[in-house]
Chains A and B, each alone.
Chain A
Amino acid sequence: MKTIKVGLGTCGVSAGAQKTYEAIKNEIELQNIQAVLKETGCNGMCYREPLVEVTDEQKNSFVYGEVTPEKAKTIMNSHVLADKPVAEWLVQSTRPSEDDTFFKKQNRIVLRNCGIIDPNSITEYVATGGYEAIQKVLNGYTPEQVIDVITRSGLRGRGGGGFLSGVKWKFCRDATGDRKYIICNADEGDPGAFMDRSTLESDPHSVLEGMMICAYAIGAEEGYIYARAEYPKAVARLKHSIREALARGFLGKNIFGSPVNFSVKIKEGAGAFVCGEETALIASIEGKRGMPRFRPPFPANKGLWGKPTNINNVETYANVPWIIMNGPEAFAAFGTDNSKGTKVFALAGKIQRGGLAEVPMGITINEIVFDIGGGIKEGKKFKAVQMGGPSGGCIPASMGDLQIDYQQINQTGAIMGSGGLVVMDESTCMVDMAKFFLRFTQDESCGKCTFCRIGTKRMLEVLERITDGNGKEGDIELLRHLAYEIKNNTICGLGQTAPNPVLTTLKYFPEEYEAHIREKRCPAHSCSALLTYSIKADACKGCMACAKACPAEAITGEKKKAHEINTAVCIKCGKCLETCKFNAVIKN
């Protein structure tokens, strides 16, 4: 019997996968087809969603991309019923396909089950070797041995800080306290990062198992998962997974028949980016305003309710069971001297193949953008990648051969962050990008430190004036000065890194700032205040479409004669450019 799997992660559903799933279900019922229909998470090829995989009787896998309900019907009739795969829609199968390069340079540890198993089924997780690592640990390892394995693997916190996980665990193990807690940070707040959402939606048990191992190593009996409010699907799957694990005795008292107790609670965040910072996150779980506090004391000594607490993020925990099963050496075999293992990157922006890619550390930016990501959309020129979200920075295309590891990324002024990688092309204005991030951090600043609260506001004002065409001589120096003060006079990561997007764009794209300030020109043709629209007389067919679309009635002209834009009335909305079928409207 054939098995049909539909990817129903948030990315799949927002591309219409639920309708595809229903269409297949209907077809099975209508025609009484003997096939098993399953749901799965995301295999990372978000750019091809909705994805449908057909596995035939010989266990050959055929993955179809961009499957609409109509296409699904054809696939059911042709492939499932008549054994004739629909070749033109296949993106991955026994035969080579152009999409194979998406996977070629990937090594999947965190994403090992994503898009393969049904995330709602603990049975499927167990069938792939799930929950073996925790049993191996309970039956043969002391807590110290677990910490030793994790330390030797070289695993570093994947949330952004990059601190050695084993060392962090040891601090918490060694701390004195009658109770200890562990927390999974699933408050993936960096705009542009979605690997934690995808992992929770596609393989929630791997995260739970990682937490169990950590809890045993540290001596904690209670764990919390702090999940983002914007991820309803991830929260629902986690709740379901916890219930399943409880029912099997994998969670609760005497897990797996051992003397160890461990329970997990979910805390839903309420929308505050700063809660990704560990002391703010703890305050939020305690039901308070999520404001960071000065460290030390670190959470390893004084965390949740004042007790020793270990915090790691989703991706970090998902690595743990694999390391236990395959050994620290196997993990450390991937990567560079200072950064071991793999890292999941979320590819987005102006890239052909947006999605999730898990690659060994040490891979170059160009390999990710071109070999895996398929290059830039619409054949445009690669300009920069933004790494690390609002705390990170823009790395120019000229540094594309840079190896991705913690040290080398830090040297550019950006940070690894949680692994968001937003690709920009020639039409992205770097000053606008810096302004975008500053507005974000300004908005999310908790207000505790003066330099973050007021300094980011002043920086934002300067950037707004530059992109509005009112920049002044001395603005660049003023930005640098403010950035320096903010970095050095704030207590948490949000403030200390808030100026990074401005500093990196100033470092690598100073000419763009200068063009805005001195020539009142946006080289990327992006800042609307600095643009003018005009109509090329020889290309205009006089169809009147733009004149009708113009909300300001700024376009004049008769039928079949070239039109004109009155720049004094034009509000620069760009509707004419969108509407024109003859490419006669140009931005200057």
Chain B
Amino acid sequence: MLQKEEIRRDNINDTFSNFKVELWRYQGERGALIPLLQSAQETYGYIPESAIDHISEIVGIPSAEIYGVITFYSQFRLKPMGKNIIRICDGTACHVNASTAILKTITDELQIDSNETTEDGLFTLQTVACLGCCSLSPVIMINDETYGRLTPKKVQQLLDEYRNADGNGG
């Protein structure tokens, strides 16, 4: 279990992670499990086993039950993610406006299927139900940016942009 002193010291050194702060703030309030898992995922990009054990000790919920919660929600990952997370929308409006062609372009281009990560660790692809940008369909989200009115060509350009950004150290 994380010692409060240790976290405070980290705090002073300004090297503490979001996750540790959340753990430190936790004071036994009810219903904190999901926010704690969310901040663990934000810190590590996924939920590592060690984080589950930490959380289990602190909130007093058995690890097995925490696994149950993690696997119930589509947001949570138990495996590391790529540097950029592509979420392709396959909601009704996107589906009607040929999101399958966009998905195919991405899977062809990156040589991965949905829920997979590229070998170089640059991209993880996820299919989601609806991003709520139906009027601009088809839509994808890369990290927290949403891109609309896409065509296969535009998607290729976008992927190139992200690849180049990485090449330049971005």
Contacts and interface: CB of A to CB of B under 8 A. Distances in A.
Given A422-B93, A436-B95, A10 B73 contact: no
Contacts of A15: 136, 148-149
Interface residues on B, range: 35 or more
B69 interface: yes
Given A440-B129, A574-B101, A348 B135 contact: yes
A192 B89 CA distance: 11
A289 B72 contact: yes
Contacts, number: 149
B133 A11 contact: yes
Interface residues of A, number: 62
A191 B34 contact: no
A189 B131 CA distance: 9
Given A14-B139, A191-B91, A273-B129, A350 B96 contact: yes
A13 B146 contact: yes
B78 to A, nearest CB: 13
Please classify the interface of chain B as helix (H, G, I), strand (E, B), loop, or mixed, using the class held by over half of its residues. Answer: mixed
A192 B31 contact: no
Given A350-B97, A422-B92, A192 B134 contact: yes
Interface in A231-283: 231-232, 267-273
A229 interface: yes
A285 interface: yes
Interface string B21-35: 000000000111111
B4 to A, nearest CB: 22
Contact of A10 (B32, B68, B132, B149): B132
A14 B34 contact: no
Nearest to A190: B130
A207 interface: no
Interface in A147-200: 188-194, 197
B130 A230 contact: yes
A578 B73 CA distance: 38
A272 B101 contact: no
A191 B148 contact: no
Nearest to A224: B31
Contacts of A288: 33, 69
Q: Give the most central of A191, A194, A197: most B CB within 10 Å.
A: A191
A230 B131 contact: yes
Interface string B20-60: 00000000001111110110000000000000000000000
9 contacts: A11-B135, A49-B136, A191-B92, A288-B69, A291-B72, A389-B92, A436-B95, A437-B92, A574-B101
Interface of A: 10-11, 13-15, 46-47, 49, 188-194, 197, 228-232, 267-273, 284-291, 305, 346-350, 354-356, 386, 389, 420, 422, 424, 428, 433, 436-437, 440, 443-444, 446, 551, 573-574, 578
Given A188-B132, A287-B31, A354-B135, 17 more contacts: A15-B149, A191-B129, A193-B134, A230-B132, A267-B31, A267-B34, A271-B74, A287-B33, A288-B69, A289-B69, A290-B72, A290-B73, A346-B134, A348-B135, A354-B137, A386-B92, A422-B93
